[in-house]
A and B are shown apart, each in its own frame.
Chain A
Amino acid sequence: MSAVTDTLSTPAERRAAIPALELMDLRVGYGRVEVLHDVTLVVPRGAVVALMGPNGAGKTTLLNVAAGLLPPTQGCVHVSGIHVNGVAPEVFSRAGVCSIPEGRGVFPNLTVRENLRVFSHGSRHPVGHIEAIAFEHFPKLAERRGQLAGTLSGGERQMLSMCRAFTSEPVILLLDEISMGLAPIIVGELYEKVGQLAASGIAILLVEQFAAAALGVADYAAIMRQGRIETLGEPADVVDSLSEAYLGRMSA
């Protein structure tokens, strides 16, 4: 601790040294079934971490814990150095966590504009400004502003849910499989936006099955299997263990 403060002199540097998200020794379960066993994962400020692994590895569970929706039975969650265990998910949001759930990040019975209106809870901007930001990044949504979000196409829906990342200016963004069920060309567009968000200094923890898309933007990659993080490293280093995680070890 003191070593860190000694070498970092300015307050800005010191702040930058505090990770955006720290998950320490997490144990999480649904009822009697424990699904995360002693998971520790740190997302440094401004870094993009891709979380990968086969179905049922516990990736979404991990994101839900980081979003405050699921309390861990053991371990701590820190958001930019603040201990946020046990508080309500809306407080996580105010502490700087923006979490976009898989495939249903919009309110289907509200119009596009009304969705943005609700998103404005987690933002310091006034409503008018939020619409401007959203429509600037996703011009398509401007044409759909009066339409119910439930009637949007899958890609448009994902765009609308991504708006929250732009309007709330979070410390850490949690993305769960934004490519789910979308055409490759739209996935490409969305990942362009993820790149923009990362470039603006927002730390991102993303879960993705589409390894190429995720590893393209990620600074680090973690591979989860059966409730544990098995491999952690830079994208180039994990590619081999990735196919192993999905397909099993090759015995030749």
Chain B
Amino acid sequence: MNLVLSYAVVGLVLGCLYALTASGLVVTYTTSGIFNFAHGAIGMFMAFTYWQLAVGWHLPVPLALALVILVLAPLSGALIERLIVRPLYGASLGITLVVTLGLLLLLLGLADAIWPPVTTRQLPSVFPGQIRVFGVVVTVYELMVLVVSVAVAVGLRFLFTHTRVGITMRAVVDDRDLTARSGASPARTAQLSWALGASLAALAGILIAPLQYLDQFNLTLLVVTGYAAAVVGRLRSLPLTVAGALLLGLVQSYATGYLPTSLLSDIGPAIPMGLLFIALLVRRQERLAQARLTGQRTRRVLTLKPSLALAGAFIALSVVMSEILSPGNLLTYGQGIVLGVVMLSLVLLTGYGGQVSLCQMTLAGLGAFCMGKIAGGNSILGLAAAVALPAAIGGLLALVVLRLRGIYLALATLAFAYSMDYLFFNHFLGFGGILAVGRVLARSQRGFLVEVSVLFAALGVGVLALRRGPFGRRLAALNDSEAACASIGMNITAVKVTVFVVAAGIAGLGGALYGGWQGQVGPDDFQMLTSLILLLLVTLGGIDTVGGAFAAAIFYAFSPVIQRHIPISNFQLLAVGAGAIFLGRNPGGFAGQLTMLTDRLRSRARPVGLRDAQAAPSAAVPIEAEAGRPGAPGGEAARLVGSH
């Protein structure tokens, strides 16, 4: 009996922590319409800041707490709103997703650089001691968490229903323009809510941290767990969110208590993500604007001849590279190319089809696993399996997440990737374990590089051909409007499942090649974080072009080289994060810039009327914004449109 109660206390405390996190997330989402994937990272960063103040610089604990939660966190929240979020109000959902994911990476990279993970850090226990309640030992810390959470919940409820500033925050979500017409500043209101959200994130981060050592990645992800609770509350309702958080905490606590340890070490960390997955699937369907990761104007798709020519040029480049690069640089160059294959799958799935996936590296990992395990690790049979198994899994995944769109699809794939990290990779490969993976055909490093390059070029040409054909047109239509596709009788399910299957197959092949190139793979190679970096990289390159994947691959290949020449650590994380944030101002990515440049050169060649010239600088943006104006279906889009 006592044991049951003890686990209930632990579960409640955990649930309260999740509730704190999730309510911060809900606050920013409902008031700015932007799902802040970096919420957890902000909490993590603030927990580290608190450690720095309290432990590093020996400030008194109450002062450090107040400084972080009441001053630094709100300030940084307001700053993030002003610099990063505000330009996003007219942007598509996909861009907001990439930008906040970029912020997550940037904060992770920064925290890693400022507080190198070479020493273990632990937060000072603010409230030592313990008391007995009904025969159950409760620490003062646990009691504090309960009290703080209840206070925050009550405070938020009061803020949103009884104060003008809180009601105005809700008004901004309903109708941004009307709030401005009423004389309140939507921008300042949203800024306030971001300050509040950051403060809540900091509070959650600091309270969660004592459960373990301070670790950038784990702390960020612990807070990510709160997403599940937020999804239970449909990202809107605070009471439901709190209920979801408590349930999550209790389930996790009882699982820890009653599952056999051998099983627990595998599935324990995956429980919250599994719940997130379930919450997403049973969630009532609501109308959502689609997440589009493409730039705002449709690009011409390369025709066969130029794409063949470029493919040839690329192979030639690789042949030359294989001759002139040092073995070290050759290794990173090849790594870029094999990951480029995985990125090609993202171009197809996310760029053309509009289906956001944060689990492509997981599928690649399955590919590598098949390649390594089947028929000695170097047979064509293994390669075939490396395509077939991920394709099958991708198809299954597609069927499961069929009706999810936008951030919900992103969250579901994230949950899948994170669960697979624990359920599959850590289990079958073991922590720090390795699996040798062989090669097919060419055995030498240089030979294999040429082989991989030929495959990349062929797949690039193939993906482009697919885009030009009838399937590609369906895919583009799906990306534009699912509702319109359904209304003309298109089989959406078939298109979605097909694109998931093909993309997963390509990703699996990429994984097998990755394994072959490295010679061996471990569980760390296919972490969710890598999927995230790849998605952001391709988006930076221009996700709706094969050229974007190529640019991303080259960047990935050479960032370790750049890293060697600069004193800042984590160059790749920081560059990708910062780049993704700037994408908010230039959604087309690198390839988009190129297209705009060539268009501008072309239009300079012919005379332009006076009126055209006046309208030209903002040409692309308002038309897009107009499509999402209030009155268009899907309140989401309407909410995101700001003044431009």
* A interface with B by C-beta (< 8 Å): 29-34, 67-69, 73-74, 88-90, 93-94, 98-101, 104-110, 114-115, 117-123, 127, 164, 168
* CB-CB under 8 A for A93 and B171, given A31-B619, A88-B185: no
Q: How far is the CA of A127 from the CA of B618 in the complex (A)?
A: 41
Q: How far is the CA of A157 from the CA of B536 in the complex (A)?
A: 44
Residues of B contacting A73 with CB < 8 Å? 614-615
- Chain A residue with the shortest CB-CB distance to B612: A32
Residues of B174-216 at the interface with A, using a CB-CB cut-off of 8 Å, are 174-175, 177-187
Contacts of B178 in A (CB 8 A): 101, 104-107
Is B167 at the interface (CB under 8 A from chain A)? yes
By a beta-carbon cutoff of 8 Å, the part of chain B in contact with chain A is 161, 164, 167-168, 170-171, 173-175, 177-187, 611-612, 614-616, 618-623, 626, 630-631, 643
Residues of the A chain whose Cβ atoms lie less than 8 Å from the Cβ of B177: 69, 89, 101
A99 to B161, CA, bound (A): 26
Count of chain A to chain B residue pairs whose CB atoms are closer than 8 Å in the complex: 107
Instruction: Please indicate the chain A residues that have their CB under 8 angstroms from the CB of B174 in the complex.
Output: 107-110
Chain A residue contacts of B187, Cβ below 8 A: 88
Q: How far is the CA of A69 from the CA of B183 in the complex (A)?
A: 12
**A32 (CB) vs chain B CBs: closest residue:** B615
A29 to B175, Cβ gap below 8 A?
Answer: no
B623 engages A30 (CB within 8 Å): yes
4 smallest beta-carbon distances between A and B, as pairs = A122-B183, A93-B183, A89-B180, A121-B183
- The CA-CA distance from A90 to B181 in the complex, in Å, is 6
Told that A32-B619, A110-B174 touch, could you supply 16 new A-B pairs with CB distance under 8 A? A31-B618, A33-B615, A34-B611, A67-B181, A90-B184, A90-B185, A93-B183, A104-B630, A109-B174, A114-B171, A117-B167, A118-B168, A118-B182, A120-B164, A122-B182, A122-B184
On chain B, the residues within 8 Å of A106 by CB distance are 178
Most chain A CB within a 10 A radius of its CB, from B186, B620, B643:
B643
Residues of A within 8 A of B630 (CB): 104
Contact, CB under 8 Å: A107 / B175: yes
Indicate whether A32 sits within 8 Å of B616 (C-beta atoms), given known contacts A69-B643, A89-B177, A117-B167: yes
Task: State the majority secondary structure of interface residues on A.
Answer: mixed
A37 to chain B, nearest CB (A): 10
> Which one of B171, B180, B182, B611 contacts A69 once the chains associate, using CB atoms below 8 Å?
B180
How far is it, in angstroms, between the C-alpha of A134 and the C-alpha of B78 when the chains are bound? 35
User: Which B residues are in CB contact (< 8 Å) with A122?
Assistant: 182-184
- Find out whether the CB atom of A104 lies under 8 angstroms from the CB atom of B180: no
Q: Please report the C-alpha to C-alpha distance between residue A127 and residue B177 in the assembled complex, in whole angstroms.
A: 21
Q: When chains A and B are docked, how far (Å) is the Cα of A56 from the Cα of B618?
A: 22
Complex contacts, A74 vs chain B, CB 8 Å: 614
Could you list some 26 contacts between A and B, CB below 8 A?
Answer: A30-B622, A30-B626, A31-B618, A32-B611, A33-B615, A69-B177, A73-B615, A90-B182, A90-B186, A93-B181, A93-B182, A94-B183, A101-B181, A105-B178, A107-B171, A107-B179, A109-B174, A110-B170, A110-B174, A114-B161, A114-B167, A114-B171, A117-B164, A121-B164, A122-B183, A168-B183
A31 CA to B621 CA in the complex, in Å?
7
Question: What is the minimal beta-carbon distance from A65 to any residue of chain B, in angstroms?
Answer: 12
Contact A109–B170 (Cβ < 8 Å): yes
- Contact A90-B183, Cβ < 8 Å, known A31-B615, A101-B177, A118-B171: yes
Q: Once the chains bind, are B167 and A90 in contact (CB under 8 Å)?
A: no
Neighbouring A residues of B186 by C-beta, 8 Å: 90
When distances are taken between beta carbons in the complex, the residues of chain A under 8 Å from B623 are: 30-31
Neighbouring B residues of A123 by C-beta, 8 Å: 183
Q: Which residue of B lies closest to A122 (CB)?
A: B183
Q: How far is the CB of A91 from chain B (nearest CB, A)?
A: 9
Judging by beta carbons under 8 Å apart, are B184 and A121 in contact?
yes
Docked pose: A93 CA to B181 CA in angstroms: 6
Residues of A within 8 A of B161 (CB): 114
Among A29, A99, A109, A164, which residue has the most Cβ atoms of chain B within 10 A?
Answer: A109
* B614 to chain A: closest residue by CB: A73
Residue ID in chain B nearest A68 by CB atoms: B180
- In the assembled complex, the Cα of A144 lies from the Cα of B179 at a distance in Å of 21
A127 and B164 within 8 A (CB): yes
* In the complex with contacts A30-B623, A31-B619, A32-B612, A93-B164 CB distance below 8 A: no
Task: State the Cβ distance, A125 to closest chain B Cβ, in Å.
Answer: 12
Contact of A119 with B182 in the complex, beta carbons under 8 Å: yes
Q: Which residues of A contact B171 (CB under 8 A)?
A: 107, 110, 114-115, 118
A32 neighbours in B (Cβ, 8 Å) = 611-612, 615-616, 619
Complex interface: chain A residues within 8 A of B179 (CB) = 90, 107, 118
